[in-house]
């Protein structure tokens, strides 16, 4: 399932930003999506992946098959990159795990160059509203709540896309000029 989502996420990300030079995957896991993007983006100079779990970064480094791939341990809430460092930021099925989604999206906006693009894929559905009553209170699990956070972080041109099954959706948005 994660590989199907990654293939669709790559298609979607490259439909909004066709030839990114510098790409970041936040919550990259084992780096599958970044390896796909590396194959499809010969012009890219840097494809960086960050994940909170050292074991994921270790696996991503072992599977890395392109010298432009770079992986680091770290969190969405405190990205260890300078301002305007990337043209495209992607994230798949990680957002729901972020302890502070507002801070994480602000960081995504900060590291994107003006006019750069975000592709954020996760479970987003009003069908998930009941789950917010239990363990995930406060998480943005609907397009409406996530849209509010994306706007507050300064993203514009927000669009929602069905990605996989009923509840995996993706937001695409542009970083403010
Ligand atoms: C379900 S996995 C998805 C991994 C990969 N993106 C994929 O689609 O296969 C969620 C990942 O998010 C990472 N993660 C959780 N909280 C995070 C945070 N605050 N910042 C960065 N990564 C985080 C986890 O360590 C895990 O690797």
pLDDT in tens, 22-54: 999 999 999 999 999 999 999 999 999 999 999
CB 65 within 8 Å of CB 35: yes
Phi, psi for 143 (deg, rounded to 5): -55, -35
Tens-place pLDDT, residues 101-125 = 999 999 999 999 999 999 999 999 7
CA distance 153 to 30: 27
Which residues line ligand 1 at a C-beta cut-off of 6 Å? 2, 6, 26-29, 32, 51-53, 56, 75-77, 92-94, 97-99
Taking the centre of ligand 1 as the mean of its atom positions, its distance from the CA of residue 28, in whole angstroms, is 6
Please give the model's pTM, rounded to 2 decimal places: 0.95
CB 88 within 8 Å of CB 36: no
Return the closest-CA partner of residue 49 out of 88, 9, 11, 18. 88
pLDDT at residue 138, rounded to an integer: 77
pLDDT at residue 2, rounded to an integer: 83
């Amino acid at each position: 399932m994660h590989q199907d989502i990654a293939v669709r996420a790559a298609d979607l990300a490259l439909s909004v930003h066709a030839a990114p030079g510098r790409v970041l995957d936040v919550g990259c896991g084992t780096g599958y999506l970044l390896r796909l993007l590396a194959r499809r983006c010969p012009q890219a100079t840097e494809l960086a992946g960050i994940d909170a779990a050292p074991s994921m970064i270790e696996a991503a480094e072992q599977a890395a098959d392109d010298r432009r791939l770079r992986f680091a341990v770290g969190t969405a809430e405190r990205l260890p990159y300078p301002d305007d460092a990337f043209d495209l930021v992607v994230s798949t099925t990680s957002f729901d795990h972020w302890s502070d989604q507002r801070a994480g999206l602000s960081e995504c906006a900060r590291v994107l160059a003006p006019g750069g693009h975000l592709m954020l894929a996760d479970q987003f559905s009003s069908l998930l509203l009941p789950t917010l009553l239990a363990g995930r209170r406060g998480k943005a699990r609907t397009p409406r709540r996530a849209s509010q956070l994306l706007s507050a972080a300064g993203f514009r041109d927000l669009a929602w896309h069905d990605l996989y099954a009923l509840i995996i959706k993706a937001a695409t948005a542009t970083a403010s000029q």
